[in-house]
């Protein structure tokens, strides 16, 4: 994808809560792209259903219509449902057909594995068989957790979901994969999406201070996650 394009790059995400958690990967990717030098203009949106597999999104959402009518440059398929590899591959194949008919670039978002779901391996296999590129977010998570076990990437309350650093790592991998740019040169931080504390009403300020703390990633941690993302993409 040419980041120097004069027209906005249109990106659609299809997935479940792992796509829309923490305000959504579409929102974070748009913000990271805008922080690039020169800025990259992105129009990003999503079609999501909490807990849904790609097969359920195919049957029970308007994703197909959105793909056909949206004039998208990239459609990102979150690898939900890899507990059932045959069903998952069938759904990817169906989506790929519609995406190809629309002249759009498909991308598999290979989310991190859990102990019951070999998501990365299945996604890589499906991507290889179908010719769809894979954003190696799972590889990045494995490398980050091995190198920095002290840096949590998962939400403490919602099992198998990313916290803000995890979402930031996913965003950096997608940024590097889609635009071919090194996220280490990007100054975007998730806390920039939040309202300035000086603008918050006093009755909400304590809660917003807590959220700001949760959404703040140190420069050291951000640099580490950016490096991991770039290495996962360039060495994959």
CB within 8 A of 159, min separation 6: which ones?
none
For the ranges 9-23, 26-40, 199-213, which has the lowest average pLDDT?
Answer: 199-213
43 vs 194, residue with greater confidence: 43
Q: Given pLDDT bands bounded at 50, 70 and 90, which one contains residue 127?
A: confident
Mean pLDDT, residues 223-235 taken together: 97
233 vs 235, residue with greater confidence: 233
Query: Residue 90, class by beta-carbon neighbours within 10 Å (0-12 exposed, 13-18 middle, 19+ buried)?
Result: middle
What proportion of the chain, given as a percentage, has pLDDT over 90?
Answer: 61
| 198, pLDDT greater than 90 | no
| 235, pLDDT greater than 80 | yes
What order of strands is seen across the sheet that includes strand 42-48? 42-48, 9-15, 74-78, 105-109, 134-135
Residue-wise pLDDT for 89-121, tens only, equals 899 999 999 999 999 999 998 877 554 445 567
Q: What is the mean pLDDT of the chain?
A: 88
| 157, pLDDT greater than 80 | no
CB contact at 8 A, 54 and 85: no
| 6, pLDDT greater than 80 | no
| 159, pLDDT greater than 90 | no
| 123, pLDDT greater than 80 | no
pTM of the predicted structure, to 2 decimals: 0.91
Omega of the bond leading into 6 within 30 degrees of 0 (cis): no
Enumerate the domain spans of the chain: 9-235
Residue-wise pLDDT for 39-91, tens only, equals 999 999 999 999 899 999 999 999 999 999 989 999 999 876 556 778 888 99
Query: Could you tell me which CATH number the domain at 9-235 has?
Result: 3.40.50.1110
Separation between Cα atoms, residue 148 and residue 213, nearest integer Å: 20
């Amino acid at each position: 994808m040419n980041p120097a394009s004069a027209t906005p790059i249109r990106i659609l995400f299809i997935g479940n809560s792992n796509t829309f958690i923490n305000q959504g990967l579409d929102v974070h990717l748009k913000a990271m792209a805008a922080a690039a030098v020169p800025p990259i203009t992105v129009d990003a949106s999503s079609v999501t259903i909490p807990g849904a597999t790609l097969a359920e999104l195919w049957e029970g959402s308007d994703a197909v219509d959105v793909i056909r009518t949206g004039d998208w440059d990239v459609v990102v398929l979150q690898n939900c449902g890899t507990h059932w590899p045959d069903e998952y591959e069938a759904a990817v194949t169906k989506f790929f057909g519609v995406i190809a008919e629309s002249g759009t670039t498909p991308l598999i978002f290979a989310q991190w594995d859990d102990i019951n779901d070999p998501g990365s391996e299945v996604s890589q296999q499906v991507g290889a068989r179908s010719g769809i590129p894979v954003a190696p977010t799972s590889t990045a998570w494995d490398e980050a957790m091995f190198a920095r076990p002290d840096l949590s990437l998962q939400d403490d309350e919602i099992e198998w979901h990313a916290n803000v650093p995890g979402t930031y790592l996913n965003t950096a991998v997608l940024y590097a994969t889609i635009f071919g740019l090194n996220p280490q040169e990007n100054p975007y931080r998730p806390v920039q999406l939040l309202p300035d504390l000086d603008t918050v009403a006093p009755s909400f300020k304590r809660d917003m201070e807590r959220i700001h703390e949760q959404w703040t990633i140190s420069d050291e941690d951000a640099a580490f996650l950016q490096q991991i993302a770039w290495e996962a993409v360039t060495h994959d």
